[in-house]
Amino acid sequence: MTEQKSSNEMWGGRFASGPDAIMEEINASIGFDRKLYAQDIRGSLAHAAMLAKTGIIAADDHDKIVDGLNTILSEIESGKFAFSRKLEDIHMNIEARLAELIGPAAGRLHTARSRNDQVAVDFRLWVKDELSKTASALKKLIEAFLERAEEHAATVMPGFTHLQTAQPVTFGHHCMAYVEMFGRDLSRVRDAIQRLDESPLGAAALAGTGFPIDRHMTAKALGFREPTRNSIDSVSDRDYALEFLSLAAICATHLSRLAEEIVIWSTPQFNFIRLSDAFSTGSSIMPQKKNPDAAELVRAKTGRITGSLVGLLTVMKGLPLAYSKDMQEDKEAIFDAAETLELALAAMTGMVRDLTVNTASMKKAAGSGYSTATDLADWLVRELGLPFREAHHATGRAVALAEAKKCDLAKLSLEDMQSIHPGISEAVFGFLTVDKSVRSRQSYGGTAPQEVRRQIRFWKKRLIRQ
């Protein structure tokens, strides 16, 4: 009994005295890597099937291993499995339980593999599964934006640069900007899946194995495109984890920018949108307050994801090939970032579908700050043939005159306009309204409602293909 325990704890031979409490504490990863149980069992089932087919283990041993692993899977999913810190990680916990269930046949499962390639394949499978979830969540967010964009393709609002009123745009056009951003995030997810879609199982510790294994068989069984091509890189690569954190950090940054706009837009000073009680909270002392806490929390959680990326980059930066125990630090960062991103995407999708648009406030603000000044400059170029720089200066003088008279550009008299340039005619006033300004921006990707609707159609078709 004592001999079996020593074998399970991996501390035989020169480590017969065993680790002390501090070593056990720093070495154990079962507290977090138990999340990999399903992937670990999938990998073991594929490995066992390959060992049996190639004649490396007997069919009878294979059958016992399959039955035992399926029993363990059932125990874990029903909450009956007893995890042990003394067994370090999910791999040894499962292996020890398998030995209890089926006896010596369990020891044959680890033939022609190492914990190095075992954890590498488990982690790749987990990240691949999570990327698929992220892709699905991003598609739902994009679909929510497409619905709002279609609804508000002609809803006028101010466009901003430097958070100052710049030119009139439509809320639909603004929504489509986020469709483009999250569409790039989705493409990064697809690219990441393509790059990690190789199985490291069979690389063993770092040099491969002398057993006649079939790595293409296990790769196919696990849903990978093909096996990895270098055994050293197979066990030391964590690019896929870094890439997941990188795309997660970029996506979270996009979510944070959107959250910031929701926070600003929902203030009484802007009054562009309103969130329902489902995504707001009240104040403990000020009964009139309605706080956009969901958006603020999405904005804050971006820091956690970015921190996870920086943390893992720092872990990996000084590691020689091949495997080092430092790489055990890769999982908690990924697990936390994945959970955080999943929650943030769900929350933001809910907010986009939930928010109410105050079209009157948006339209009123769209005309503030002389937002149609560029339209005046364009008219001077188009109708009077002025060089744009000259038209720009003339428009600047018109804005200064409007400021002095405390009125909008459209409220200046024809005489006022002609004092800026004598060639200006009454026709110019038809181009100084926000609606006319927006409709005129018909260039590809512009804010004109017809162009917004064209881009909506494009994205609907694109999402179907993805």
- Pull the structure tokens for residue 153: 């393709």
Strand partners, 156: 170
Which of 78, 162, 284, 443 is flagged as catalytic? Answer: 162
Cα–Cα distances in angstroms (integers) from residue 462 to residues 153, 186, 450, 459, in the given order = 19, 11, 19, 5
| Gap between the Cα atoms of 464 and 466, Å rounded | 6
Length of the chain: 466
Catalytic pick among 74, 283, 324, 425: 283
How far is CA 293 from each of CA 289, 298, 459, rounded to the nearest angstrom? 11, 9, 30
Placement of tokens 């820091």 in the chain? 303
Does 162 participate in catalysis according to the annotation? Answer: yes
Q: Which residues contact residue 219 at a Cβ distance below 8 angstroms, ignoring those fewer than 6 apart?
A: 198, 199, 201, 225, 226, 227
Q: Would you call 254 a catalytic residue per the annotation?
A: no
Half-sphere exposure of 116 (CA within 13 A, CB side): 23
Residue 149: phi and psi, rounded to 5, are -65, -40
Please, are residues 159 and 369 in contact by the beta-carbon 8 Å criterion?
no
> Shortest CA distance to 155 belongs to which of 393, 365, 459, 336?
365
Q: For residue 18, give both structure tokens.
A: 């065993």
**Residues 6 or more apart from 327 whose CB is under 8 A from it?**
236, 238, 315, 316, 319
Phi and psi torsions of 101, nearest 5°:
-80, -40
Catalytic positions, written as ranges:
162, 283
